[in-house]
Amino acid sequence: MEKMLKQSCLIIFLSFVVFLVSLTCAQAQGQENMENNSLVGRIAHIQGQLLRYVPEEDDWVIAVEDTPFGTYDVLYSSDDAKAEIILPNNTWVRIGSDTQIQLIELKSEITELEVSSGSARLYNKSLFTDIKATTPFGDVLLPPETRCDLYVHEKQAEVVALKGTVDFVQTGSDTRHAVIAGSSSLLITPHQVIASSGSVHPEWNAWNIERDFLWTQRMQARGTSGKYLPAGLKDEAYVLEKHGRWERVYYEGAYNYFWRPAYVGTEWTPFSSGRWTIWHAEHTWVPDEPFGYVTHHYGNWIYARNCWYWGPPVSRVMVSAGLPLFNIGISWYPGRVAWIHSGVYVGWIPLAPYETYYSHHCWGSRSTVRVYNHYYPYNIHRYRHYRHARVIDQKHFYRVDNYRHAGLRKFKDGKNYRMTPFAGNTLKNHHKTKNRFQFTNVQVKRKPDRSVIAKIKENGLKRIKVAKARNDLMQKKVSKIIRAKGEQKKRIVLPDSKQRKKGIEKLKKSITDTSHKISKKKEEFRKTVQRTTKKVVKQKLRKPDKLLLAKLRDRRQRKNTTFPTLKINQAKTNRKTSHAFSKSKKQKSPMKSIAKRFRSYQSKQTGKRSIQARTHRNIKTKGPVFKMR
Is residue 260 over pLDDT 90?
A: yes
Domain boundaries of the chain, sorted by first residue: 1-36+223-263+299-331, 42-215, 497-540, 547-621
| Residue 410 vs residue 564, higher pLDDT | 410
Q: Which pLDDT belongs to residue 445?
A: 86
Considering only residues 491 and 321, tell me which one the structure prediction assigns the higher pLDDT: 491
- Rounded to an integer, what is the distance from CA 530 to the centroid of its chain? 74
At residue 548 the predicted structure's pLDDT band, cuts being 50, 70 and 90, is low
Bigger pLDDT: 387 or 620? 387
Residues 6+ apart with CB under 8 A from 154: 117
Q: Over 70: is that where the pLDDT of 580 sits?
A: no
Length of the chain: 629
pLDDT confidence band for 407 (50 / 70 / 90):
confident
Q: How confident is the model at residue 171 (pLDDT cuts 50, 70, 90)?
A: confident
**What is residue 347's predicted lDDT score, i.e. its pLDDT?**
92
Q: Looking at residue 537, what is its pLDDT?
A: 61
Question: Does 624 score more than 60 pLDDT?
Answer: no
- The model's pLDDT over 224-255, given as tens digits with 9 standing for 90+, comes to 898 899 888 888 999 999 999 999 999 988 89
pLDDT at 35 (0 to 100) = 41
- In DSSP terms, 60 is beta-bridged to 53
% pLDDT > 90, the chain = 38
- Is the pLDDT at 287 greater than 70? The verdict is yes
Please give the pLDDT value at position 539: 58
DSSP 72: T
* Highest-confidence segment of 135-144, 376-385, 544-553: 135-144
Average pLDDT of the residues of the chain: 78
pLDDT value of residue 447: 85
DSSP assignments along 579-602, one per residue = HHHHHHHHSS-HHHHHHHHHHHHH
Q: d(Cα 60, Cα 55) in Å, to the nearest integer?
A: 9
Task: Write the pLDDT tens digit of every residue in 467-523.
Answer: 667 667 777 776 777 666 565 544 444 456 666 677 778 888 888 888 888 888 888
Mean pLDDT of 279-300: 94
Position 450 confidence tier, pLDDT thresholds 50, 70, 90:
confident
The two beta strands, 244-251 and 193-196, are: unpaired
Please give the order of strands across the beta sheet that includes 300-304: 244-251, 254-261, 307-311, 300-304
Is the pLDDT at 161 greater than 60? The verdict is yes
**E strands along 223-336, which residues?**
244-251, 254-261, 274-279, 282-287, 300-304, 307-311
Q: Residue 585: which pLDDT band, with cuts at 50, 70 and 90?
A: very low
| 175 vs 164: CA distance, rounded Å | 19
pLDDT at 58 over 60: yes
For residues 344 and 16, give the distance between their C-alpha atoms in angstroms, rounded to a whole number. Answer: 62
Look at 53 and 370; give whichever has higher pLDDT. 53
The whole-number pLDDT of residue 404 equals: 87
In this predicted structure, the answer to whether residue 55 has a pLDDT above a threshold of 60 is yes
pLDDT of residue 457: 77
- Give the model's confidence band at 124: pLDDT under 50 very low, under 70 low, under 90 confident, else very high: very high
Q: In which band, very low, low, confident or very high, does the pLDDT at 587 lie, cut at 50, 70 and 90? A: very low
- Residues 35/364, Cβ–Cβ less than 8 Å: no
How does pLDDT run across 348-394, given as a tens digit for each residue?
999 999 898 988 888 887 788 876 555 565 688 888 999 999 999 98
Burial readout 478-495 (b: 16 or more C-beta within 10 A, e: otherwise): eeeeeeeeeeeeeeeeee
Asked if the model's pLDDT at residue 550 lies above 70, the reply is: yes
Sign of CA dihedral 611, 612, 613, 619: positive
Q: Would you tell me how many other CB atoms lie within 10 Å of the CB of residue 364?
A: 20
DSSP class of residue 447 equals P
Residue 586 has pLDDT above 50, yes or no: no
Count CA atoms closer than 13 A to 172's CA, side-chain side: 7
Instruction: Give the pLDDT confidence of 10-44 residue by residue, as tens digits.
Output: 555 555 544 444 444 444 444 444 444 578 999 99
Residue 589 predicted with pLDDT over 80: no
Which range is least confidently modeled, 197-211, 371-385, 415-429, 492-506?
492-506
pLDDT of residue 10: 54
Residue 8 is predicted with a pLDDT of: 56
Which pLDDT value is given to residue 282? 92
- What percentage of the chain reaches a pLDDT higher than 70? 71
Say which CATH architecture domain 42-215 belongs to.
Sandwich (2.60)
